């Protein structure tokens, strides 16, 4: 396959593990250099080293709820690799509980990390990209934001909010050559989902027409499509990577 991201520089938040790391690996395989931003600096650096070390990847501590730290991440990409062409808002957490037991802190934290974090990443990346007349922002939403899931009033709200944010930002940035798109993964095998009780896992599996869990690489391939010129006439769109669940 061609090197779809040859010469491009990508930042991936929450890039130390899971879906974010898989996106980073796929981007590197397609010629990009990447910056992994993560809460856990040591883990981000270790993952960057696994991807090939300083020539192709660096790890930087970043809490996406802090605009200053997101700006530092972007500055690191530009000072180390010379540009910023792709920004993936992937960092995420869950704090599941029904409304009867969910604390206000857990509502606020989840909305902050996903929605404020994605807003920080999108607006700060776009501010740089518009000066160069090109760029791609890829926002990781969730099927939970499309259909709503029990125990996820915080997460579903934040992930649905990311879709509205994506479309509004896409409209604001289209004439600057910056595209903004979103991905809604379904059940994907990662640390986040492997922590789920077996009963919840089985119930989700029963809803999937393709009758299997998705792998992180299958989300990464769609993130590659949105980052590359293959999707040059697409902005404000939402790709469902779900095995047909809740289509
Ligand atoms: P993981 O928990 O494996 O990875 C999430 C990463 O985000 C971790 O490295 C975590 O760091 C980091 N992170 C958490 N909070 C912050 C923060 N404030 N600032 C920076 N980084 C942070 O999850 P997944 O790979 O499964 O999920 C990635 C994205 O995909 C998330 O947005 C998630 O909501 C979404 N998603 C996942 C699905 C799935 O089935 N797995 C389905 C649908 C959507 P640390 O470990 O140090 O806390």
Domain boundaries of the chain, sorted by first residue: 9-237
- The per-residue pLDDT for 105 is 98
- The per-residue pLDDT for 222 is 99
Query: What CATH number does domain 9-237 carry, 3.40.30.10, 3.50.50.60, 3.40.50.720, 3.40.50.150?
Result: 3.40.50.720
pTM of the model as a whole: 0.98
* Residue stretches of the chain with pLDDT short of 70: 1
Which region holds residue 29: left if phi is over 0, alpha if psi is between -120 and 50, else beta?
alpha
Mutational pocket test of ligand 1: of 67, 91, 158, the residue with most ligand atoms within 8 Å of the beta carbon: 91
Q: Which residues line ligand 1 at a C-beta cut-off of 6 Å? A: 13-14, 16-20, 38-40, 62-65, 90-93, 113, 117, 140, 142, 185, 187-188, 190-193
**Which regions of 14-107 does DSSP assign to beta strands (E)?**
33-38, 57-61, 86-89
Active-site residue 155, yes or no?
Answer: yes
pLDDT tens across 24-54, in order? 999 999 999 999 999 999 999 999 999 999 9
Provide the 10 A C-beta neighbour count for residue 231. Answer: 18
- The per-residue pLDDT for 1 is 57
């Amino acid at each position: 396959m061609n090197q779809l991201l040859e010469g491009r520089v990508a930042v991936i938040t929450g890039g130390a593990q899971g879906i974010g790391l898989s996106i980073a690996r796929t981007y590197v395989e397609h010629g990009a250099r990447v910056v992994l931003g993560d809460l856990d600096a040591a883990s981000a650096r270790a993952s960057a080293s696994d991807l090939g070390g300083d020539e192709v990847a660096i790890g930087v501590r970043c809490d996406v709820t802090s605009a200053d730290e997101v700006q530092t991440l972007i500055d690191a990409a530009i000072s180390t690799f010379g540009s910023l062409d792709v920004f993936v808002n992937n960092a995420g957490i869950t704090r599941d509980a029904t409304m009867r037991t969910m604390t206000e802190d857990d509502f606020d934290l989840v909305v902050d990390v996903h929605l404020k974090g994605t807003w920080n990443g999108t607006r700060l990346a776009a501010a740089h990209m518009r000066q160069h007349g090109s760029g791609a922002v890829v926002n990781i939403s969730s099927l939970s934001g499309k259909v709503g899931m029990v125990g996820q009033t915080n997460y579903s709200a934040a992930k649905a909010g990311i879709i509205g944010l994506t479309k509004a930002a896409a409209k604001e940035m289209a004439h600057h050559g910056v595209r903004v798109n979103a991905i809604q993964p379904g059940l994907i095998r990662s640390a986040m989902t492997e922590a789920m009780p077996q009963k919840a896992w089985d119930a989700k599996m029963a809803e999937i027409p393709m009758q299997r869990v998705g792998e992180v690489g299958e989300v990464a391939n769609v993130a590659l499509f949105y980052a590359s010129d293959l999707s040059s006439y697409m902005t404000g769109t939402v790709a469902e990577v779900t095995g047909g669940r809740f289509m």
